[in-house]
Amino acid sequence: MKKNNNNNTVKSFALYGLLFVVILVTAYFYGASRFVVHKFTYDEFLTEITEDKVEEITITPKSNSSVYQIEGSLKDYSDLESFVVTVPYSDTVMEKILSYADTMEFKVKTNTDPGSSALLALAINVLPIVLLVIATLYLFSKIASGNNKSMDFGKSTAKLNADGGKVKFTDVAGLKEEKEEVSELIDFLKNPKKFQKLGARIPKGVLLVGPPGTGKTLLAKAVAGEANVPFYYISGSDFVELFVGVGASRVRDMFKEAKRNAPCLIFIDEIDAVGRQRGTGIGGGHDEREQTLNQLLTEMDGFGANEGIIIIAATNRPDVLDPALLRPGRFDRQVTVNYPDALEREEILKVHARNKKFGKDVNLKNLSKRTPGFSGADLENLLNESALLAVRRNKSEITMDEIDEATDRVLMGPAKVSRKINDREKKLVSLHEAGHAVIGIKLEDAADVHKITIIPRGVAGGYTMMLPKDEKMNLSTKKELLAQITGLLGGRVSEELFFGEISTGASDDFSKATKIARAMVTEYGMSDLGPVQLEEKQGNVFLGRDYDKVKNFSDTVALEIDTEVRKIIDNCYKKATTILKENKKLVELISNTLIEHETLTKEEIDELVSTGKLSKYEKAEKLEKEDKKQDKEEKTDTE
């Protein structure tokens, strides 16, 4: 296959080389070497000679004519300028010109008449045109045969990695169950006869489903690397083009190439770009995408039992895929690649920490516990950001200071350290964040408070990082949801109680709290309306997430839903008010500490709650006072 590609490359270079030669020959014989040609009369020519401006001339007699053609250049001409003059054919004229040449000392060249040779004249006038016509015909023949890359609309754009790639399962941290699911594919690609003997049918298609950044593409690369088979990879958007039928042609060509290299693996990334449900959306379907999908369905279902071609596709939107893609015989196995747990996050961090230097205070196990909800891509970005910060600070190793800052950058964006905040605004933000923190500290079912800062990041003036107490699945109890709403409302309650004024800083908190409360009423059945699902979690994905959303209730029930949502919010607001009133001193203590130090870690928060002070800052202040006292005594002794 590579040999054919090399031959096509050589032919293309030869073609363009031939065209280049023809253009050069044509330009040479048709006088393209001189771009500016001045036409003189015989009298003007003599004037230039007598004024000693002529540098050189070339005399060419014309056959069947009584004239000479003289070409030449003047002394003030550039390299691309020349003149031409026609003079009478007589010995007197030539003698006169030659006498001037002796006197003025300019060069004279004499050419024979090319018209005296019929063969030479034919070659000069006809041969360039013939060569140009032949080259043009050859070019069009190459285009018609489909070998010209500019016309390869229907050719597959899938890239081939002949050795399967260098990624192995050891490079894929975590995903233990997922790797076990796809290990059968590796065994089949290596030794298909073992499965054929027992009549086992390996899935022709495996669909990797999961949130972005969880390692779906990496897992597919590892399968190809472990099996050591040719690996074709392509994006779903590479099939869809402007012209109807091009995508289907590319699908046919891709499977045709894959069959030549079987056993092999085809990986289609973001398959939802081409595999969406047919006939959906306002105004009907999309002809090009639907024809491409139809061809893909046909090719997948048309495989022989033992052709050794396996398709792996990845998407984070399985809800929009056409049902025909998911039936047995096509993508009949789905592997969910979810967010990693604490143990998997630790393994992922170790993989990305291989080529980085860390300080003694960095513990990857503790870091994995502090990053719930982070994907593999987030963790890689976290360590990379910390390394960049260490370089920026001219450090020889990465410390926890850089990792903490990198965590904040990943979650909220870079800190706006240059932004000036007045004392009133600083007090308001500190009370707001202290309100969130005290709710998290004192409410039993609330999440743990891991960090508080009033340094602006992104659009937030500050934030309180709260993480779950234990690693668990995506399940929440009613008490935990109510505690979450109460914590979100704690910022506004704190502003109202201790600042005597409310601000717009709680708008995002209200949005999150309202969504949770409405979901409790309409989806989770956690209200007086009972265990009834009144709203679907998601609307029509093709018309917008909330457009034409299914609502299984009447207008009367809609009023009851609003009442229940209001009841949940009001009860949580009252509870937050009670907790903060009972812990006024703690709110003020955290607020004042934030104003002074701007950021508090979990260890500092725990110490502040238990002792009411921070020992490390007290020690620093004590040492500073002792230094000042010593300096003062030394100054007194000197005097």
CA distance 584 to 579: 9
Q: Which two tokens stand for residue 204?
A: 């022709």
DSSP H helices in 174-331: 176-190, 192-197, 216-227, 246-260, 287-301
Among residues 288, 385, 405, 433, which one is catalytic?
A: 433
Residue 375 tokens, joined:
């994907």
Q: Does residue 494 contact residue 448 with C-beta atoms inside 8 Å?
A: no
Structure tokens at 256: 């045709």
- Examine residue 318 and say whether the peptide bond preceding it is cis (omega within 30 degrees of 0): no
Q: What is the DSSP letter of 551?
A: B
**Distance between CA 136 and CA 133 in Å, rounded?**
5
22: three-class secondary structure by DSSP: helix
Q: Please give the backbone phi and psi of residue 524, each rounded to the nearest 5 degrees, phi first.
A: -95, -10
Is 433 known to be catalytic? yes
Q: Which residue type is seen at 581?
A: K
**Phi, psi angles (nearest 5°) of residue 600:** -130, 130
CA dist 453 and 580 (Å) reads 19
CA 170 from centre of chain = 25
Pairwise CA distance, residues 313 & 332, whole Å: 12
Question: Rounded to 5 degrees, what are φ and ψ at 530?
Answer: 95, 175
> CA 581, CA 575: separation in Å to the nearest integer?
10
- d(CA 19, CA 232) in angstroms, rounded, equals 36
Contacts 24+ apart (CB under 8 A), 69-76: 70/45, 70/97, 74/48
* Cβ neighbour number for residue 48 with a 10 Å cutoff: 18
Q: Phi then psi for 154, rounded to 5 degrees?
A: -90, 0
Q: Which residues are catalytic?
A: 433
